[in-house]
Structure 1
Amino acid sequence: MSTSSATGTAPPEPDLTPNQLIQRAVELRPRLVEAQAEAEERTYYSPEMHKAFDDAGFYRLFIPRRYGGYEFDVPTFVRVLLELARGCVSTAWCMGLASGHALQVGSYFGERTQREVFGEGDFRAASVASPSVIAKRSTNGWVLNGTVGYCSGVPYSTHFMGQALPEGVPPDEAEGQMLLYVAPRSEWTMLDDWGDTLGLRGSGSHSIRFTDGRLPRHYVLERTSMVDVDVSDGTPGLTLHGNPVYCGRSLGVFTLSLAAIMVGGGYNALDEYENQMRTRKTPLPPMVPRIEDGDFQRWYGAAFGKLATAEAALLRCADEHAELCERTANGGEPYSAEDEQRVGVIAREIMVQVWETVEQDLFRSVGASTIRAGTRFERLYRDLSMCACHRNTAYRDPLYRRLAQLHLGIDAS
């Protein structure tokens, strides 16, 4: 993988490798398991865990090296998220959706914007694609007003990346007129409105409010949808950093990040199922340890095999995204909307398969006493059910249709 040769702020550990970063996520899993209930009560992970993530380098994974980041790739990112979710699904969701959007900023915004928002590498940005903010053009840029919900990862975010509609744009023209912006924390306020959902209560998915938030022109990209950026002519990030990681499309990567959290959460549930097998007996005579019972072995094996299949699909899909970026950067066939939909459809199927595996093979046989309020498996069931009903999976059928239209050359209008 080529990287930027420009000098700038060096990352804290210039020789850190992707495998070392992934191993740090593995080593944090016991702490994450122990802190699950506390994170849920707080609605996001603790300042101590935040420092551990910062020290580990997770937030710098996608930040370009010239700005103090590690400039790693999507396959590394999904493996880190998987391992963190194997400790706590809510925490992985909160951390992943705050750290992952450095990839879009590093890809689509110009050098001046990147230099100012990344600084020396202290950057985290929650993001929501729905344009619920109204932007009014000013002498020096834009003024934003409105409230954005479900800003996962916002408690520790230094910025917010979102979509806005210019003032006065009719609803039927909204799709082609959206603004993509990155806003410093000084321009918005986080609301205390998260924690009453069925699951993901520790994901830090609070709302934020803009009240005359002011952004300079170069913090806003006009007529740009973050989930449909044409990269066929390259990107500012590719030109600036010389790294193919910054010339990809983004919707598939977002879906892959959710799929990674789901796979890690599935293994989290499998780990707890194994704990129950090793410590409890079967409910009916002959009362034998569950670990020795053929039915529990079969249920465990079925879930293990299906989760391993989902993990294999996840890692291959992440590699495919990286290959598409490489092909585009090298002047080959550009990363197309069809390519992006294909990556997203595969990742979405992973999410569905994990949920069905946990619900059908583990939840139905783990036992009612294991899912009392506050237990590990009860929390996992709630968290994974929320992941499964996320807006991304809700669009499963329409996006099947969209993939077919793109592949078959059918006019979507």
Structure 2
Amino acid sequence: MAASSLIFSVRRRDPELVRPAAPTPREVKRLSDIDDQEGLRFLIPVIQFYRQDPSMVGKDPAMAIRDGLSRALVHYYPFAGRLREGPCRKLCVDCTGEGILFGEADADVRLEEFGDALQPPFPCIEELLPVAKGPECVTRLLCGGFAVSILLNHTMADAPGLVQFMNAVGEMARGLPAPAVPPVWGREIFQARDPPQVTRVHREYEEVEGTIVPFSEQVHRSVFFGPRELAALRARLPPHLRQRSRFEIVTACLWRCRTAALRPSPDDEVRIICIINARGGAFTPPPRGYYGNSFAFPVAVTTAGKLTSNPLGYAVGLIGRVKSEVDDEYMRSLADLLVLRGRPHFTVVRSFLVSDVTRADFGDVDFGWGKAAYGGPAMGGVGAIPGLASFYIPVRNSQGEEGIVVPLCLPAEAMERFAAEMDELTRAPPPPGEVGITVQHSPVPISSAL
């Protein structure tokens, strides 16, 4: 059966609260001033698919993961608490030990029915996500494999932080006595200064007038970038830009094609927002074990006319420049601005946000059944403004090529134009062969409840 025509049903048990396996501190912990900005106050869906392991026959993954979760919450007890909003919209965690809502289910479908290459968009994905705002559910499949789905409140952790917690659950499920990486709260490292002092330009939080395309009018597809696609794009660049990172080149390509497909006025400002993680590079990194949000949203701004009429190298240059501006002082200035401005949402009008999770290592999370067949965001376009964001997810396509898949959402007519723009842009030399981008259709609408 083709994945695009796949239909299945799921039988769910009533969810239950999983509490820490031992007593935990009763206290209130403040989130950082990076954590609690408006743009992170949403639930992000993550899904992990696991294949049958003959050595685990007779073992119930739901039971193993529930036990691992309970034991991991002793170390990560803030996840078992409840978020509270205080004065000036400041978020804190009331560490009550109430627990995490956990569900289990059975689906009448086999993992192989999802297609040769496991990657979003997944058919009937809503059937596998937690109900009642989760945040965690294990769904057993007919083949002996299973899916683990999670709804993460983004104010609590970023992608590396979530993977760190999931690894701890896996280690506990496999019988280890403690997490390999002890968790560190440490949110004070991203608190605003006293007094706050904005020392950098943060155009990502500018107030811009305009309208947002209703999400109900959008369709969901994904784009695969493998070695051949990336080589074709590099060939379009001048020699001094051809060794720029995959992130910069793919982001430039997507931004240019997406803008052309949406057809804004040539004089309209358009924005590409890049997630830049402070865990490496030129930053002083947070301590090992830190699982809070540790990134900035630098933005490149130009007009639609300049972006679409210039060669691809124009966009690559813009993206490279804004990336280079983000350092320790930028992060301090960002926290100060967020406090002074009341924790605003980043600019969403004529914006496109991209987040590279290829190094988060979702696929390495092991609950006892080995590495995931697929691990990462469940869909593209999630967040408070659905359709705004896309993730770069590591995959292997049906031909066995390693690359990244990028889910995205656009209005139906614009999506057709986007596919044509992508195909044209990847028809670059050198020969032999011209390789177009593979664009996959979503067989089901994506929920706007997030």
TM-score higher than 0.5: no
Query: Whose strand proportion is higher, 1 or 2?
Result: 2
- Using structure 2 for the length normalisation, give the TM-score: 0.26
Structure with greater helix percent: 1
TM-score of the two chains, using structure 1 as the length reference: 0.28
